[in-house]
Amino acid sequence: MHYQTHWRLAFVLAFFFHLVVWLVLMLVIPHVFRMLEPPPQETPMEWVDVADDMGTPEEDQQEEQPPPPPPPPSEPAAVEEAPAVVEAEVPEEAITEIMKEVEETKDAPQEDNVLRSGEGNQIGQPGKILHAEQPPYGMINFKGRIAVSARIGTDGKVIRTHVMISSGNEYYDRTARRIVERRWKFEPAKDMNGQPMESDMQCPVYFNMKPTRKIK
């Protein structure tokens, strides 16, 4: 019986001894083989020119060109300003002369009131009123507007006049006509070639009232 106990103890010790040896070998042997293996050869690094792989700038990316400078502002064309109309009142010294002339022509034969066209020429630029005078208050016993149509010559002077809107009184109408003929100033019209030509212009004359519209 005593022999059998020693045998069992030896068996157990031998089992654990082999187990420990086996575990040690399992841990040590891989490290041994790893140490015996020749070191891996390092692959030489190859330098690549990135610029060559990306292509030339002309092919892949165009250089940003600076924006073109803005064009210089064009100078506005010179616009010829129309001369302003000078509106005034007939001076006292001229009233007597106008009234005297109206009295002297009251028995004169009627003038040709037909205003003919400017010999068929086409107007390129209409005429302008440069100076317009209105009668002072109380010059005649009439309140209202008398519309006078005036034929303007190539020199800007009045050739003849014609009443378009009458006061109903021939004396008052002649007064309005004489004011336009003697006191108003004009710039003649021009044809398509820029040459002065005759033309008709409307001239409103206001008695004992303010003008209801701007004269131009």
- Across the range 58-86, mean pLDDT stands at 59
Question: H or E element: which one contains 86?
Answer: strand 86-89
| Angstrom distance (rounded) from CA 194 to CA 131 | 22
Structure tokens at 194: 């820029």
Instruction: Grade residue 206 by pLDDT with cuts at 50, 70 and 90.
Output: very high
Structure tokens at 120: 């068929």
Structure tokens at 76: 């506005």
| Angstrom distance (rounded) from CA 171 to CA 159 | 20
Structure tokens at 165: 């809107």
Q: Which comes out higher in pLDDT, residue 128 or 60?
A: 128
Count of Cβ atoms closer than 10 Å to residue 169 Cβ: 13
Query: Percent of the chain beyond pLDDT 90?
Result: 38
Count of Cβ atoms closer than 10 Å to residue 198 Cβ: 20
Does residue 110 register a pLDDT over 70?
A: no
What does the pLDDT read at residue 113?
44
Closest CA to 182 of 99, 111, 85, 83: 99
- Across the range 101-124, mean pLDDT stands at 61
What pLDDT digit, counting tens, does each position of 121-159 carry? 788 899 999 999 999 999 889 999 999 999 999 999 999
Count of Cβ atoms closer than 10 Å to residue 56 Cβ: 9
- Say if CB 142 and CB 167 are below 8 A apart: yes
What average pLDDT does the structure give for the chain?
A: 77
- Say if CB 180 and CB 173 are below 8 A apart: no
Instruction: Grade residue 33 by pLDDT with cuts at 50, 70 and 90.
Output: low
Does residue 55 register a pLDDT over 60?
A: no
- Say if CB 207 and CB 143 are below 8 A apart: yes
What does the pLDDT read at residue 142?
93
Does residue 180 register a pLDDT over 80?
A: yes
Q: Which comes out higher in pLDDT, residue 204 or 45?
A: 204
